[in-house]
Amino acid sequence: MTYGETIRFLRLRAGMSQGDLARKVGNGITNQSVSGWERDKSKPSTENLFELARIFGVSVDDIRGSEPSAPSPAELPPAPASGLLFAALEEALLMCGVNREAAAEIAEVVWLAVENLKVPHGASPEDAIRRIMRWEVPDILKRRL
């Protein structure tokens, strides 16, 4: 996992948007800054790296390393419903044999769609989600399998 993928993984596991994380980090960080970190276009300063480790309850080495160690369940804050949706989707996809990278990307697409759902006139929310799934998921599976 790259630096950026690790930050993204930890952010999504915590059920935060990029804006939420930027506000928690403070120091003038914007959601664009977080986006740059997650896309490996830039790296957080040492000060912000320590703040990220504190926010996520992991070590700085976990963020720099390949796979963050999981904090104990007692250390984790309760996951919001959207974070539970992401985790449930990812687990269901893994159980269906979808590889980890594709499962994470599909779960994020669906989670983001639900978080930002704009239903076209005359459609139901379910129809809107189905449309997103038909457009995004086949493309992700082609790239990731």
Q: Which residue ranges form the domains of the chain, and what is each CATH number?
A: 3-75 (1.10.260.40), 81-144 (no CATH)
Q: Tell me the DSSP string of 46-91.
A: HHHHHHHHHHHTS-HHHHHSSSPPPPPGGGSPPPPHHHHHHHHHHH
The predicted pLDDT at position 21 comes to: 93
pTM: 0.47
Q: Under a CB-based contact definition with an 8 Å cutoff, are residues 61 and 50 in contact?
A: no
The predicted pLDDT at position 86 comes to: 66
Q: What is the dihedral of CA 86, 80, 37, 2, to 10 degrees?
A: -50
Q: Under a CB-based contact definition with an 8 Å cutoff, are residues 125 and 119 in contact?
A: yes
Between 107 and 72, residue with greater pLDDT: 107
The predicted pLDDT at position 119 comes to: 65
Q: pLDDT, tens digit, for every residue of 86-100? A: 677 777 788 888 888
* Mean model confidence pLDDT for the chain: 76
Q: Under a CB-based contact definition with an 8 Å cutoff, are residues 56 and 20 in contact?
A: no
Asked if residue 82 has pLDDT above 60, the reply is no
Q: Under a CB-based contact definition with an 8 Å cutoff, are residues 18 and 35 in contact?
A: yes
Q: Which of 67, 62, 33, 70 is nearest to 48 (CA)?
A: 33
Averaged over 28-38, what is the pLDDT?
89
Q: Which two tokens stand for residue 145?
A: 């399998």
Q: pLDDT, tens digit, for every residue of 35-67? A: 889 888 898 888 888 888 888 888 888 887 654
Burial 119-128 (b: 16+ CB within 10 A, else e): eeeeeeeeeb
Asked if residue 78 has pLDDT above 60, the reply is no
